[in-house]
């Protein structure tokens, strides 16, 4: 049985090239879990970037299914920037035939001490250990536990809001790659106005990283609170947004996702 640390393992094979294995333990209902693909692309870009810079934004367009068990090539290249901000691109492809499966763009920054403001508030929720647990479908769901608060079960809901504590069970400490992984750990919003599971595929997803190094260290391998809500679904396209909070009340990351549904 694999764990998340093994699933995220990448190997550099050239100046701008890395390989990764699509670990079947993190297969979703239709190919690899999208959060896994985002995480390994981010890790390859992180390896290539300046050591003093940290991820601030990651956007991925999903082109084709990533087959579990296959070897992947991650080609990374810088696309510009300044002393404080770097822009990067990555292409994830099948290793043998170079078929493009996903494209990513990332922004890495050297963050400075400034003033600031938090314009949203963390919901008041029960502690995770007081709540029932739920495992999403697919092999990866057996390693990622949810403690539902609102929006469960997913179907025939009066709105598209859901909140849940989420946690990877393999003991890996939360970092930027794992935030990208957990940002995808939510049910498609089209389920919420339907009466059961339906075909759904992520088209594009963005994650914006707000956590400071100290806030990530405070999380460790603990639960994070996932707060997700839909924006609009119509004519086969659905957008939803998400916030990830630490137990200490820090806003760790936000995300937007565009999905195709039937």
Per-residue pLDDT of the chain (262 residues; tens, 9 = 90+): 458 999 999 999 999 999 999 999 998 877 899 999 999 999 999 999 977 899 999 999 999 999 999 999 999 999 999 999 999 999 999 998 888 999 999 999 999 999 999 999 999 999 999 999 888 777 776 788 899 999 999 999 999 999 999 999 989 999 999 999 999 999 999 999 999 889 999 999 999 999 999 999 999 999 999 999 999 999 999 999 999 999 999 999 999 999 999 9
Q: Are 246 and 179 in contact (CB under 8 A)?
A: no
∠96-58-43 over CA atoms, to 5°?
Answer: 55
Distance CA 185, CA 147 (A): 12
* pTM of the entire predicted model: 0.95
Residue 93 has φ and ψ, to the nearest 5°, of -140, 160
Question: Has domain 4-110+131-261 been given CATH number 2.40.160.210?
Answer: yes
Q: Are 216 and 252 in contact (CB under 8 A)?
A: yes
**Helix residue ranges per DSSP H, the chain:** 4-7, 34-48, 176-183, 190-193, 213-219
Distance CA 22, CA 148 (A): 28
Residues 6+ apart with CB under 8 A from 3: 25, 143, 170, 171, 172
∠35-40-42 over CA atoms, to 5°?
Answer: 90
Query: How many other CB atoms are found less than 10 A from the CB of residue 1?
Result: 8
């Amino acid at each position: 049985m694999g764990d998340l640390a093994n699933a995220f393992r990448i190997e550099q094979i050239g100046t701008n090239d890395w390989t990764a294995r699509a670990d079947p333990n993190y297969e979703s209902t239709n190919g690899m879990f999208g959060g896994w693909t985002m995480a390994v692309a981010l890790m390859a870009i992180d390896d290539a970037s300046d050591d003093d810079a940290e991820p601030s934004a990651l956007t991925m367009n999903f082109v084709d299914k990533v087959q579990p068990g296959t070897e992947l090539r991650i080609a990374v290249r810088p696309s510009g920037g300044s002393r404080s901000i770097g822009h990067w691109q990555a292409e994830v492809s099948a290793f043998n035939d170079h078929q493009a499966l996903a494209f990513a763009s990332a922004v890495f920054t050297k963050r400075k001490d400034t003033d600031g403001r938090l314009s949203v508030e963390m919901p008041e929720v029960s502690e995770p250990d007081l709540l029932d647990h739920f495992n999403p479908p697919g092999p990866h769901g057996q390693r990622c536990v949810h403690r539902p608060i609102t929006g469960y079960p997913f179907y025939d809901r009066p709105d598209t809001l859901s909140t849940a504590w989420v946690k990877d069970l393999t003991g890996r400490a939360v970092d930027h790659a794992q935030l990208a992984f957990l940002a995808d750990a939510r049910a498609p919003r089209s389920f919420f106005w339907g009466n059961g599971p339906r075909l759904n595929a992520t088209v594009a997803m963005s994650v914006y990283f707000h956590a400071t190094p100290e806030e990530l260290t405070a999380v460790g391998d603990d639960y994070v609170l996932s707060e997700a809500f839909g924006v609009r679904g119509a004519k086969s396209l659905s957008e939803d947004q998400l916030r990830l909070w630490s137990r200490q009340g820090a806003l760790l990351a936000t995300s937007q996702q565009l999905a195709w549904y039937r």
